[in-house]
Amino acid sequence: MRLSARPSSGVVLVACLLLLWEVSARLDWMHTPNWPPLTDVLVALAHDTLTGELPLLVGGTLWRMAAGLAAGGAAGVVVGMLFATLPMTARLFGPMVELVRPIPIPAVIPPLVLFLGLDNTMKVTVVALTVFFPVLTNTMQGVAAVEADTLAMGRTFGIGPLRRALRITLPAVLPYILAGFRVSLALALVVAVVAEMIAGEQGIGHYLVMMQFAGRAPEIYATVLVLAVLGYGLNRAFLVMEHRTIHWWFAMGRQADG
Amino acid sequence: MTQITRRAALTLAALPLAAPPLLGQNLTKLRVSVIPVLDVAPLHAAIREGYFAAEGIEIDTSTTTGGATGLPGLIAGQFQVTFSNTVSILLGVREGLDFRFVSGASRGAMTPPDIFAVMAKKGSGIRSGKDLEGKRIASNTRNNIVWLRGMAWVEKTGGDWHRVTTVEVPFPQMADALAGGRIDAAILSEPFVAGALATHGDTLERIGWPISETAPGGTNAQYVAMKDELNAHGEVFDRFGRALHRGVDWVNARLTDPVLLELIAGFSRVPIERLRQVALPAYPKGVTPGELDDLLVSMKHFGMTGTYPATSSLIFRTAAV
Amino acid sequence: MKLSRIWPGLVVLALLLAGLEAAVNAGLIRRALMPAPSAIAPVLWGLLESGEVLEPLFATLRLVFAGFAIGSVLGIAVGLAMGWFPAAFRLLEPLVELLRPIPKAALVPALMLFLGIGETMKITSVSLAVLFPVLVNTLQGVRGVDRVMLDAARTHGWGPAHTLLHLVLPAALPFILAGMRISLGLALVLAVLAEMLTGQGGLGFLILDMQRSFLIRQMYAWLVILAVVGLALNGLFLFVERRALHWQPALRP
């Protein structure tokens, strides 16, 4: 590991922009209390982190996001496998799925609130709905892609349909399913935050709106920073996990390349 | 100094009350949905001063920022009590939802300054509802108490409310929108009136008081619970009402005392220097059929027509004071 | 032909609606929260017939298309520059990596602080959501261009600008379009969200406002309209994509 003596032009650019932020706010170029200096934002961030308020809120948001990912992902895989292996189910329920899919997800929050209230149940359901569709699509595509060769083998060995689905199809489709999860991951975070912003009462999304109503600009930008770090961290963590889970897939890919 | 002694005396006075329920049974948990605004100060005071604990109740507050956001949580059984503005509550009642008033929360003042103000740009020449005809007025949403009082003010000051365009703007953005000329007037509620004057005091001014000019002391917001819940556990709500109303007394005894503002700053996160400028609401304990009937007349007049049940049937015994 | 394939699904849908209607009428579902479909239909028809639908519909569509266009153009331009000029890549990569993972929905309250709640702020949030997927896909597309073809272009004496326009851009087009398709969905999501949070006009605002005013039939009617918009946008893009890529295989040697 060699530390580069000269930072790249890109890092310089980012540093300059951050400096511009600080200076423009300190000198009040924008003539508004809504443009706080970066250092004020960092102080607000440090304060609410040290009081334990932010970590608790972020933890809640992540928990709801994870629950929604698990529930929506599981449902997506099950329904996707069903649709792909039993075409009749796809013909019966496919149109329903296609009608619900294009509804932009924030719009389903108001009706869901009426039935599920404002608590975890509603927020987890919204995240689950977001995750369900990409995972469903990817699972179906995956099954279609591995169907021909892998399944024929299972059939010749006389394995029953359920065991075939669990033992052969599911592992073979796993890379596609995980890709679906990765697509949903960023959206799941967004939607968890959005649900909190609209329904309130918990999480980092509610904190954001609270601070907006309390007129505290530094806290608003601090929240955006927290969410950026979260988004980045989640994506990284998922890539690592994906690599671990389906290392054989990457190994095969590398062979094919060579 | 006197402050401390008074609080100590109150705590001491609370002790004998606290003893029996604390020994005899576990605390009853109540989840209460609130908006972090001035109106809910008595609830927070009652929590902090231990009045709920003395009644054997533990309060878990849950905050939302929209005036009617908490009501669906009440229907879903996630809250036992929800704080909301009277118009939203009555609109739910109109649709057959069994909300019942368990306590009053806030009313407008009899004389200015109100908790609501109509604001306009200095030098714009807009002084009345008449001046606003053909122009744009901002309200945080339609079909709530703020909009209703605002429209009543437009009419009272000679304007035809049909000819005034309502633009929905969230409270935190109103002052900017007004100063930037995107709207011609705005109906703000506290603490946003004080906030607007603090940040845009050189360009914006208050031109009207929508409550005291149209319905002095008019109703604003209440605490509601579901009818079934009240029928099943009326006794719990009796205790809730008693504790909350001791909180009302606490607040009413300190309307000019800095400790009240500290309390409000604590739960609303609004900076205390801004709170020093706000106009406080009146904090009533009860709800009267009369004030609800007056409001219904106004609601029907401004387009929220339909059949509403007799207002006296909507008031639970804890609010009939 | 096509009808015979989807009729079982339509039957299921019809059964579902009928079941809902029966459940509401039997009192199994609280009417104040989920009115019978037969009660929503007249409200929906009223919105369509009176033309009341047009203003919010156009407000939302204008937002989606303006944001989508601006975000796409910027994303393609920056993506091409970063993929084609190493200096541009070095300059912008850290910034892009920094901004990309921010959930764009969370930017809306921050943007409201200094752009206010007007069209500018809403279009900016939609463009930002569109920008990054398009940018990243364009970058991938440019990077994936066949080296052999680039060499061939050079030996034929094509200048860099000519090569970029006539070789790199067409070759990257499938990637760009894939990025744009992802972004179109995001654009609608952000448009609806920005409307909900700024509380002004548009389909997203109306759905939330109707719920909060307990005008539940109206809320469902607007939701149906929004679903149709989502369906139509997706269909429109699939159609455009098929047209745009129609000639694509012919380009390959």
Where do the CATH 3.40.190.10 domains begin and end in chain B? 2-108+219-319, 116-208
State the SS3 of C161-195. Answer: HHHHHHHHHHHHHHHHHHHHHHHHHHHHHHHHHHH
Say how far apart CA B319 and CA B226 lie, in whole Å: 14
Q: Which two tokens stand for residue C246?
A: 């129609």
A211–B269 C-beta distance less than 8 A: yes
Candidates C55, C213, C217: best to mutate against B (most CBs of B within 10 A) is C213
CATH class of A36-257: mainly alpha
Interface test with C, best of B84, B136, B171, B176 (most C CBs within 10 A): B176
Locate all alpha helices (DSSP H) within chain A, ordered by sequence.
9-26, 38-50, 53-85, 87-100, 109-116, 120-146, 152-156, 161-163, 170-199, 203-214, 217-245, 247-257
Residues of chain A in contact with residue C230, where contact means CB-CB under 8 angstroms, are: 101-104
Report pLDDT digits (tens) over A49-106: 999 889 999 999 999 999 999 999 999 999 998 888 888 888 888 888 888 888 888 8
* C31 belongs to a structural domain: no
Domain chopping of chain A, boundaries: 36-257
Q: Are the beta carbons of B142 and C213 separated by less than 8 Å?
A: yes
Q: Could you tell me if B57 and B28 are in contact, meaning their C-beta atoms sit under 8 angstroms apart? A: yes
Mean pLDDT computed over B176-192: 90
Cβ-Cβ contacts under 8 Å, B69 against chain A:
113, 118, 198-200
Q: Is A105 on the interface with C (CB under 8 A)?
A: yes
Q: Which pLDDT tens digits describe chain C residue by residue (253 residues)?
A: 455 667 777 888 888 889 888 888 888 888 788 888 888 999 999 999 998 899 999 999 999 999 999 999 999 999 999 988 888 898 898 888 888 878 788 788 888 877 877 788 899 999 999 999 999 999 988 888 877 888 888 888 888 778 888 888 888 888 898 889 888 888 998 999 888 888 777 899 999 888 888 888 999 999 999 999 998 988 888 888 788 776 555 443 3
Nearest by CB: B141 against C197, C212, C214: C212
Cβ distance of C207 and A107 shorter than 8 Å: yes
| Residue A112 sits at the chain C interface (C-beta within 8 Å) | no
A199 Cβ under 8 Å from any chain C Cβ = no
**Domain at C207, CATH number:** 1.10.3720.10
Tell the CATH topology of B116-208.
D-Maltodextrin-Binding Protein; domain 2 (3.40.190)
Average pLDDT over residues B292-301: 93
Residues 6+ apart with CB under 8 A from B304: B87, B91, B94, B143, B148
According to DSSP, residue A143 is labeled: H
How is residue B212 annotated by DSSP? T
CB B212 within 8 A of CB B282: no
Closest to B162 in 3D by CA, of B283, B301, B256:
B301
Looking at beta carbons, which residues of chain C come within 8 Å of B95?
Answer: 32, 214, 216
Which chain B residue shows the shortest CA-CA distance from C208?
A: B69
Domain count for chain C, please give it. Answer: 1
| Candidate from B63, B195, B269 with C-beta closest to A201 | B63
Rounded Cα distance between B122 and B125, Å, is 8
Residue A11 has pLDDT above 90, yes or no: no
With 60 as the cut, is the pLDDT of residue B14 above it? Answer: no
The label of the residue with tokens 């200015």 reads B112
Please give, rounded to a whole number of angstroms, the shortest distance from the CA of C46 to a CA of chain A.
21
DSSP element (H, E) containing B82: strand B81-85
The answer to whether residues B32 and B59 touch, using CB atoms and an 8 Å cutoff, is: yes
Asked, for residue C16, whether it belongs to a domain, the answer is no
Q: Taking CB atoms and an 8 Å limit, are B140 and C213 in contact across chains?
A: no
Neighboring chain C residues of A110 at a CB cutoff of 8 Å: 207-208, 210-212, 219, 223
* Residue range(s) defining the domain that contains residue C166: 39-251
Contact A58, A230 (CB under 8 A): yes
The confidence score (pLDDT) of residue A158 equals 67
Query: Please, which pLDDT band fits residue A6 given cuts at 50, 70 and 90?
Result: low
Cβ-defined contact of C31 to B96 (cutoff 8 Å)? yes
Distance CA A189, CA A183 (A): 11
Cβ distance C209 to B92 less than 8 Å, yes or no, reads no
Facing C109 at nearest CB: one of A10, A101, A220? A220
Q: What are phi and psi of C131, to 5 degrees?
A: -55, -55
> What is the phi-psi region of residue C36: left when phi exceeds 0, alpha when psi lies from -120 to 50, beta otherwise?
beta
How many contacts, defined by CB atoms under 8 Å, are there between B and C? Answer: 64
List, in sequence order, every residue forming a beta bridge with B206; answer none if it has no partner: B119
State CA B297 to chain mean position distance. Answer: 20
Q: What is the torsional sign of CA B116, B118, B121, B127?
A: negative
Tell whether B139 lies on the interface with C, counting CB pairs under 8 A: no
* Residue A91 with chain C: CB contacts under 8 Å: 5-6, 8-9
- Out of C116, C209, C212, the one facing B177 most closely (by C-beta) is C116
Provide the CATH topology of domain B2-108+219-319.
D-Maltodextrin-Binding Protein; domain 2 (3.40.190)
Residue numbers in C near A221 (CB within 8 A): 110
| C212 to B140: CB separation less than 8 angstroms, yes or no | no
Q: Do A94 and C98 touch (CB under 8 A)?
A: no
Alpha-carbon distance B235 to B249, whole Å? 21
- Asked if pLDDT for residue B76 goes beyond 80, the answer is yes
Q: For chain A, which chains pass the contact test of at least 3 CB pairs under 8 Å?
A: B, C
Q: Which residues of A touch C90 (CB under 8 A)?
A: 8-10
Place of tokens 């988004």: A231
Residue C13 placed within a domain: no
State mean pLDDT over A28-54: 86
Give the one of A91, A186, A224 whose C-beta lies nearest to C8's C-beta. Answer: A91
CB contact under 8 A, B173 and C112: yes
Q: How confident is the model at residue A148 (pLDDT cuts 50, 70, 90)?
A: low
Q: Angle, nearest 10°, between helix axes A203-214 and A217-245? A: 160
Confidence of residue B9 (pLDDT cuts 50, 70, 90): very low
Location of structure tokens 């339909």? B306
Burial class of residue C37 (count of CB atoms within 10 Å of its CB; 0-12, 13-18, 19+): middle
